[in-house]
Structure formats: C-alpha cells, structure tokens
Structure 1
C-alpha cells in the first residue's frame, strides 16, 4: 500500500501526548501478559489496568514509530472518507458523514467506557468515534502473524465500517436486539455485525484500489490473512482453548476472510447483508 506523502484526514483526534500512564503493582511484564489475555480471549481487561495504572505526571512521548503510525492512520482514514462519500452517493443516493478517529496511548475514556490497549480498536456509536491505540498494529504483526501495511489498513477500515453501519441505522437496531437477547443469541448477532463490517471493509478496499491506484493484489492478501488471524477460533486456539462457536463474537477465520472477499469481489454495499442470510 502506497501511503507516504499522501493526503491525511482532518478528522483525527490525537490524545497520545496526554494519555501517558505508568504501571503500578503489576509491573511491565505483567501488564503485557494482561494485555495479551485481552487480545486472545476477547475480554476487556481495562478494569485490571485501571487498578494498576497511575498518571505518569508527564505527557507521553511520541516516538518516530508513533508519528509514522499516526500519519498512516490519517491517510487511511482520508481514503475511507473519500470512498464512502463516493459509495453513499452512487449506491445509496445520500451523503456520508465521516467519523472521527481517536488515537491514544495506553488508556483513554469514551462514552462507551474506558479504552485501553486491552480492548483493542473499537467504534463507539454514542460519539461516532473510532478508538485506536496504534500499539495494536505491533500485536497484530508480532503476536497474531498479520503482517503488512494493508493488514493495519484493514483494521482501520473495519472500525470505520462500523461507523457506516451506524450511519445506515443497522448498528443501533442490532445492538438493541442484543440487549433483549440471551447471551448466546447476543453473541450470534454480534457475529453478524462483525462479518458485515468485514464485508464492508472489502467493498472499501476494492473501491480504494480503483480510485487511488495505491493498492495491489498482495495488499488484498495481507487483509485476507489479517481477517483469518483474528477469527475467534484462531484466537481461542492460540490461547490454548478449544474453539467454542457459541462464544464467538466476531466470527471464525473462514467466515471473516470469506465475507471480506465477498465485499472485495462485489464492491456493493447490498452484497454485505449478513442479517438476511442463513449461510454465514
């Protein structure tokens, strides 16, 4: 993916210089272990970190890697804005209102609750913002085996796809149903939400490749691999668990990669209706 020197988004809220924290009683290695539990098991371990994280008293220092990651996210976000504005006009006959993306380090707050590296990237419909600690890109590559710039771009595109769902009224309806459902049914609805976001990410990837000429076939392969590596069955196996489909909240590796490819091949928002099919 060619991203250096390209236009960035104005819709970045960079909290990284003010989100410094230091570990308390757990210690550095222990914090890393806690974070990995969150990544692999899909558990929000923010409360554990809040018990042991204390304000450092000084602003967080941004490294060169931090600066580059921020620039990369800004360019990717700008691409999503242009593509979804185009797709909303051409396929839906309406205007797209872009999301804001919050960059943070270690911990921050959102209307949907505390955000930390342990929660992973997420979208909060209450304030229409996506939240991302770019340290997740390192985990994605080093711990989960999802390498390459476009694997990281897929993560950004997936969270913005949740914003697309929110703009279309899908996310609100689905979350309301989840609140009225049993835990197992709530998980099943969550899987449909996430697979649709994967599909919409594929729609974005196809249109971005056609529009900007900065994405090639190898980039698509990086995204498909990333989708596989963060499938619920893959993560549960990596954590030493037997995959249990009734506990899945995002979908299996096969499902996630297949729905991304569905969007990639079709380029159509309508192809991403995961709520009407019995064949996920």
Structure 2
C-alpha cells in the first residue's frame, strides 16, 4: 500500500507503556468489567454486546518503541486517516454525518469503556467509547501465527474494526444486542457471524475506495484475502484442536470472510452489505 509520506489521522491515542489503569463501570455494575466488544478474532463477541460507560484513570509513561513498531504506528495512523476520508464521503452521500472513531495503541493490556483486556484477544472495537484498540505486536502474530504477511493484511484488520464503528453509527449494533436474551446460543451465533461478515464487507468497501485513490499496490488485495481467510472460525478451530464446530462459529468461515470482503470491494457502497437479509435472518 502506498502510505509513506502521507497524512496520518489526528484521532490516534497512544497509550503504549501506560500502567496503573483502573475503570469504574457505570450502570450499577461495580468493580472491573471484564468485557471486550467486537474482537477481530477469537472469543465470543456475543457475550460482549453490552455497552458499559465508565471513568478511566491511568498513569502514563513516556514510551519509545522499536523502529519497526514506530513505523507501524505511522502506518495504522495513515490507514485510519484514509478510512475517515472514505466513510465521511459515503455518509455524506447518504445524507448522514460520519463521526470519526479514535484508534488506541496499547501494549500488553488496556482498559476501555467495555472493560479490560490483554493483547492476547487481538484488535477490538468498543462502542461504549467508539474507539478501536490494538497492540501493534499483533502485526507480528498476523504474519507468523496466521501466515498473513503484508501491510495490507494489517490495513484489512484496521478497516474491519472501523466497519464495526460504522455498524454502531448505523444502529446495527443496537439491533443485534437485545437478541442475546431472546435466542439460544446457537441461534444467536448465527447473528454474530453475520455481524462480523458485515464488518468484513465494510472493510472491502474501504478497500474499493482506496483502490480508486490509487493507494493499492500489486498483491495488496491478495494480502487482505489471505488475512480474511486466516482468521475464519473454521481455520482457527482446526489449527487449535484439529476440527471445527460450526454451531460455535461467531465470525464466519474463511470462505465467508473472503466472500464478503470481496463483495464490499466490488460494490464500494453500503448497499449490498446486508449480511442478515442474505442469510434469511430478517
């Protein structure tokens, strides 16, 4: 991806190296709220579909990463700026206003309005504070553990989490949330899969516009598709235990994730991204 020398986003909050963070949760819930919302991979995002307001206290320290890490921090800032430009334009075309999210960089663990998490869960989005969270070490994991190298693989990750922000702004998140208490776990998982696939579709929409801005290089699309395939539920489960359990899927299969990213890339619009209707869920 052509990113060097280009504008980065002003909506990046660097919490790397911070410690001593606590969070007091609102809504009558005391203590630490150990919840993540809309994780990129692993876990059950359905268990996370509650927004908790909170007051965060943290002690910051000066932090200087390696040259590679600082370069990656610059890269994700540029990608975020590109998503801001694309989604602002798309929302304006729909007569809406796009509220830009904040990207939080952290190391090891972090507190959000959704609770506390370690970097082991991967990148995630919290609708409670409308922020994306990522430990940049995930880039190495993406390359080594998931065999998905390349800068555009990481760009896909950022665009997917921004896709969850788009869902929050469009009200999709509020539609899904109440269903957890109305459906069985297996039935609710079907909605979670479609929820994640829609975020993949929106990531593809962004990539479509990035191509139109002449930002993509040869091989970039393949890098994104490789990453989408690598984080499919079936692929992750087979790698971990040798077999897959479809009723436990919460993000979609490798083929589904590639399919919906590709569809978004081809369409380049919000229209066509109703993964719930496509699955006969509404």
Q: Is this contact kept in 1: 2:233–2:253, CA < 8 A?
A: yes
In 2: Cα distance, 1:259 partner to 1:238 partner: 23
2:104 to 102, 113, 129: 102
Unmatched 5+ residue regions in structure 2? Answer: 22-38, 46-59
Q: Is this contact kept in 2: 1:20–1:106, CA < 8 A?
A: no
In 2: Cα distance, 1:217 partner to 1:272 partner: 26
In 1: Cα distance, 2:192 partner to 2:258 partner: 16
1:17 aligns with 2:17: yes
Q: Is this contact kept in 1: 2:232–2:253, CA < 8 A?
A: yes
Which deviations, in whole Å up to 9, do the C-alpha atoms of 1:159-188 show, x marking residues without a partner? Answer: 000000000001121122234322112211
1:202 maps to which residue? 204
2:35 maps to which residue? none
In 1: Cα distance, 2:127 partner to 2:40 partner: 22
1:163 aligns with 2:171: no
Number of corresponding residues: 252
1:2 maps to which residue? 2
Which deviations, in whole Å up to 9, do the C-alpha atoms of 1:74-108 show, x marking residues without a partner? Answer: 00000000000111112x12111110111100011
Q: Could you tell me how far 1:248 is from its partner in structure 2?
A: 0.4
CA gap 1:8/1:40 in 2 versus in 1, 3 angstroms: closer
1:83 aligns with 2:86: yes
Q: Could you tell me how far 1:214 is from its partner in structure 2?
A: 1.4
* CA RMSD of superposed structures (Å): 2.5
In 1: Cα distance, 2:200 partner to 2:42 partner: 20
In 2: Cα distance, 1:175 partner to 1:2 partner: 38
- Richer in helix (by share): 1
Tell me the secondary structure at the aligned position of residue 277 of structure 2: coil
Q: Could you tell me how far 1:18 is from its partner in structure 2?
A: 1.5
CA gap 1:77/1:59 in 2 versus in 1, 3 angstroms: same
Which deviations, in whole Å up to 9, do the C-alpha atoms of 1:25-52 show, x marking residues without a partner? Answer: xxxxxxxxxxxxx9985379xxxxxxxx
In 2: Cα distance, 1:162 partner to 1:85 partner: 15
1:64 aligns with 2:67: yes
Q: Could you tell me how far 1:20 is from its partner in structure 2?
A: 9.0
In 2: Cα distance, 1:195 partner to 1:7 partner: 29
Q: Is this contact kept in 2: 1:184–1:246, CA < 8 A?
A: yes
Q: What pairs up with 1:23-172 in 2 under 5 angstroms?
A: 42=43, 60-90=63-93, 92-172=94-174
Which deviations, in whole Å up to 9, do the C-alpha atoms of 1:91-142 show, x marking residues without a partner? Answer: x121111101111000110111112211211110011111111111110011
Q: Is this contact kept in 1: 2:206–2:268, CA < 8 A?
A: yes
> TM-score, length-normalised on structure 1?
0.84
1:235 aligns with 2:236: yes
CA gap 1:94/1:58 in 2 versus in 1, 3 angstroms: closer
Q: Is this contact kept in 2: 1:40–1:238, CA < 8 A?
A: no
1:277 aligns with 2:281: no
The list of structure 1 runs, each at least 4 consecutive aligned residues, that deviate by more than 4 angstroms after superposition, is 38-41, 57-61
Unmatched 5+ residue regions in structure 1? Answer: 22-37, 45-56
